[in-house]
Protein backbone atom coordinates (compact mmCIF):
# COMPACT_ATOMS: atom_id res chain seq x y z
CA UNK A 1 0.00 0.00 0.00
CA UNK A 2 2.82 2.42 0.84
CA UNK A 3 4.53 1.74 -2.51
CA UNK A 4 1.31 2.61 -4.36
CA UNK A 5 1.00 5.86 -2.42
CA UNK A 6 4.61 6.80 -3.18
CA UNK A 7 3.99 6.63 -6.95
CA UNK A 8 0.48 8.11 -6.88
CA UNK A 9 -0.21 11.58 -8.26
CA UNK A 10 -1.26 12.83 -4.81
CA UNK A 11 2.31 12.43 -3.50
CA UNK A 12 3.92 15.87 -3.39
CA UNK A 13 7.38 14.48 -4.18
CA UNK A 14 6.12 12.80 -7.36
CA UNK A 15 4.17 15.94 -8.26
CA UNK A 16 7.28 18.09 -7.86
CA UNK A 17 9.34 15.72 -9.98
CA UNK A 18 6.76 15.69 -12.78
CA UNK A 19 6.35 19.46 -12.63
CA UNK A 20 10.13 19.99 -12.75
CA UNK A 21 10.32 17.77 -15.84
CA UNK A 22 7.52 19.76 -17.52
CA UNK A 23 9.24 23.06 -16.68
CA UNK A 24 12.51 21.75 -18.15
CA UNK A 25 10.69 20.76 -21.35
CA UNK A 26 9.05 24.18 -21.64
CA UNK A 27 12.38 25.90 -20.97
CA UNK A 28 14.04 23.76 -23.64
CA UNK A 29 11.33 24.67 -26.16
CA UNK A 30 11.59 28.39 -25.31
CA UNK A 31 15.36 28.25 -25.75
CA UNK A 32 14.88 26.66 -29.18
CA UNK A 33 12.39 29.37 -30.16
CA UNK A 34 14.88 32.03 -29.02
CA UNK A 35 17.66 30.38 -31.03
CA UNK A 36 15.42 30.22 -34.12
CA UNK A 37 14.54 33.89 -33.65
CA UNK A 38 18.21 34.83 -33.46
CA UNK A 39 18.89 32.75 -36.57
CA UNK A 40 16.27 34.77 -38.48
CA UNK A 41 17.54 38.09 -37.15
CA UNK A 42 14.56 38.85 -34.92
CA UNK A 43 15.13 41.45 -32.23
CA UNK A 44 13.53 41.71 -28.83
CA UNK A 45 11.46 44.85 -28.33
CA UNK A 46 10.33 45.64 -24.80
CA UNK A 47 6.84 47.10 -24.60
CA UNK A 48 5.32 48.97 -21.69
CA UNK A 49 2.72 46.52 -20.39
CA UNK A 50 0.93 49.27 -18.50
CA UNK A 51 -0.51 50.69 -21.70
CA UNK A 52 -4.21 50.03 -21.94
CA UNK A 53 -5.53 49.00 -25.31
CA UNK A 54 -7.95 51.72 -26.33
CA UNK A 55 -11.11 50.43 -27.93
CA UNK A 56 -12.17 52.04 -31.14
CA UNK A 57 -15.02 54.49 -30.66
CA UNK A 58 -18.22 53.09 -32.13
CA UNK A 59 -20.80 54.96 -34.11
CA UNK A 60 -24.38 53.96 -34.80
CA UNK A 61 -23.92 53.35 -38.53
CA UNK A 62 -23.75 49.73 -39.73
CA UNK A 63 -24.05 48.27 -43.23
CA UNK A 64 -26.92 45.84 -42.67
CA UNK A 65 -26.24 44.07 -45.97
CA UNK A 66 -22.92 42.85 -44.58
CA UNK A 67 -24.47 41.34 -41.45
CA UNK A 68 -25.48 37.69 -41.62
CA UNK A 69 -27.47 35.65 -39.13
CA UNK A 70 -28.75 38.29 -36.70
CA UNK A 71 -32.36 38.55 -37.89
CA UNK A 72 -33.86 36.39 -35.14
CA UNK A 73 -32.00 38.23 -32.36
CA UNK A 74 -33.03 41.59 -33.81
CA UNK A 75 -36.68 40.51 -33.97
CA UNK A 76 -36.52 39.21 -30.40
CA UNK A 77 -35.31 42.61 -29.20
CA UNK A 78 -38.15 44.31 -31.09
CA UNK A 79 -40.70 42.00 -29.46
CA UNK A 80 -39.43 43.10 -26.05
CA UNK A 81 -39.44 46.77 -27.05
CA UNK A 82 -43.01 46.56 -28.42
CA UNK A 83 -44.47 45.06 -25.23
CA UNK A 84 -46.00 47.55 -22.80
CA UNK A 85 -44.12 47.86 -19.55
CA UNK A 86 -45.81 45.71 -16.86
CA UNK A 87 -45.97 48.67 -14.45
CA UNK A 88 -46.88 51.29 -17.06
CA UNK A 89 -50.18 52.34 -18.58
CA UNK A 90 -49.21 51.01 -22.02
CA UNK A 91 -49.88 54.35 -23.69
CA UNK A 92 -46.59 56.16 -24.03
CA UNK A 93 -45.55 55.51 -20.47
CA UNK A 94 -42.15 56.83 -19.46
CA UNK A 95 -40.77 53.46 -18.34
CA UNK A 96 -37.20 52.61 -19.20
CA UNK A 97 -36.42 49.21 -20.65
CA UNK A 98 -32.88 47.85 -20.47
CA UNK A 99 -32.08 44.93 -22.73
CA UNK A 100 -28.64 43.49 -21.97
CA UNK A 101 -26.66 42.04 -24.87
CA UNK A 102 -23.85 40.01 -23.34
CA UNK A 103 -21.05 37.79 -24.59
CA UNK A 104 -17.34 37.64 -25.20
CA UNK A 105 -15.67 40.10 -27.52
CA UNK A 106 -16.15 39.64 -31.24
CA UNK A 107 -19.56 37.96 -31.19
CA UNK A 108 -21.36 40.93 -32.72
CA UNK A 109 -23.04 42.52 -29.71
CA UNK A 110 -22.38 46.06 -30.91
CA UNK A 111 -23.39 45.15 -34.46
CA UNK A 112 -26.69 43.74 -33.20
CA UNK A 113 -27.34 46.90 -31.19
CA UNK A 114 -26.59 49.00 -34.29
CA UNK A 115 -28.99 46.92 -36.40
CA UNK A 116 -31.78 47.53 -33.90
CA UNK A 117 -30.90 51.22 -33.49
CA UNK A 118 -30.93 51.88 -37.24
CA UNK A 119 -34.07 49.89 -38.06
CA UNK A 120 -36.88 52.14 -39.36
CA UNK A 121 -39.29 50.68 -36.81
CA UNK A 122 -37.27 52.36 -34.07
CA UNK A 123 -38.30 55.76 -35.44
CA UNK A 124 -41.94 54.79 -34.90
CA UNK A 125 -41.27 53.59 -31.35
CA UNK A 126 -39.14 56.48 -30.09
CA UNK A 127 -39.23 60.21 -30.69
CA UNK A 128 -35.57 60.50 -29.79
CA UNK A 129 -32.77 58.01 -30.35
CA UNK A 130 -29.28 58.43 -28.92
CA UNK A 131 -26.08 56.47 -29.55
CA UNK A 132 -23.36 56.92 -26.95
CA UNK A 133 -20.06 55.03 -26.95
CA UNK A 134 -18.90 54.08 -23.46
CA UNK A 135 -15.17 53.44 -23.23
CA UNK A 136 -13.35 51.05 -20.91
CA UNK A 137 -12.35 53.89 -18.59
CA UNK A 138 -15.95 54.67 -17.64
CA UNK A 139 -16.61 58.19 -16.38
CA UNK A 140 -20.20 58.95 -15.36
CA UNK A 141 -19.79 62.71 -15.82
CA UNK A 142 -18.47 62.30 -19.39
CA UNK A 143 -21.21 59.77 -20.16
CA UNK A 144 -23.99 62.13 -19.02
CA UNK A 145 -22.53 64.91 -21.16
CA UNK A 146 -22.36 62.57 -24.17
CA UNK A 147 -26.01 61.61 -23.66
CA UNK A 148 -27.14 65.24 -23.38
CA UNK A 149 -25.13 66.28 -26.42
CA UNK A 150 -26.32 63.31 -28.50
CA UNK A 151 -29.94 64.35 -27.88
CA UNK A 152 -29.33 67.71 -29.55
CA UNK A 153 -27.78 69.16 -32.68
CA UNK A 154 -24.35 67.50 -32.96
CA UNK A 155 -22.73 70.74 -34.18
CA UNK A 156 -23.66 72.54 -30.95
CA UNK A 157 -22.31 71.48 -27.58
CA UNK A 158 -25.27 72.05 -25.26
CA UNK A 159 -23.35 71.69 -22.03
CA UNK A 160 -20.41 74.08 -21.71
CA UNK A 161 -17.23 72.87 -20.00
CA UNK A 162 -17.80 75.00 -16.87
CA UNK A 163 -21.29 73.51 -16.42
CA UNK A 164 -19.89 70.04 -16.86
CA UNK A 165 -17.38 70.64 -14.07
CA UNK A 166 -20.20 71.79 -11.77
CA UNK A 167 -22.30 68.63 -12.18
CA UNK A 168 -22.92 67.06 -8.78
CA UNK A 169 -22.80 63.34 -9.50
CA UNK A 170 -22.49 60.67 -6.85
Q: Provide the residue ranges of all domains of the chain, joining segments of one domain with +.
A: 2-39, 58-129
Give the Cβ contact number of residue 117 at 10 Å: 15
Contacts of 78 (CB under 8 A, 6+ apart): 116, 119, 121
Percent of the chain with pLDDT over 90: 6
pLDDT tens for each residue of 116-145 = 888 888 888 888 888 887 767 778 888 888
Please report the pLDDT score of residue 101 as a whole number.
85
String of DSSP letters for 95-149: ---------STTSSHHHHHHHHHHSHHHHHH-S--------SS--HHHHHHHHHH
CB 167 within 8 A of CB 138: no
End-to-end CA distance of the chain: 65
pLDDT tens for each residue of 51-93 = 445 555 565 666 666 666 788 888 888 888 877 766 665 555 5
Please report the pLDDT score of residue 134 as a whole number.
76
Q: Rounded to an integer, what is the distance from CA 157 to the centroid of its chain?
A: 28
Whole-prediction pTM value? 0.51
Amino acid sequence: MKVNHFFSSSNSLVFRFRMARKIKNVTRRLNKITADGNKFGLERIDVDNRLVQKREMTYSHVDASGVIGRESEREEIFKVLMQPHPNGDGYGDQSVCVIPIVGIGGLGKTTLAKLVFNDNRMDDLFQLKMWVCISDDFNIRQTIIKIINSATDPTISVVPQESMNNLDIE
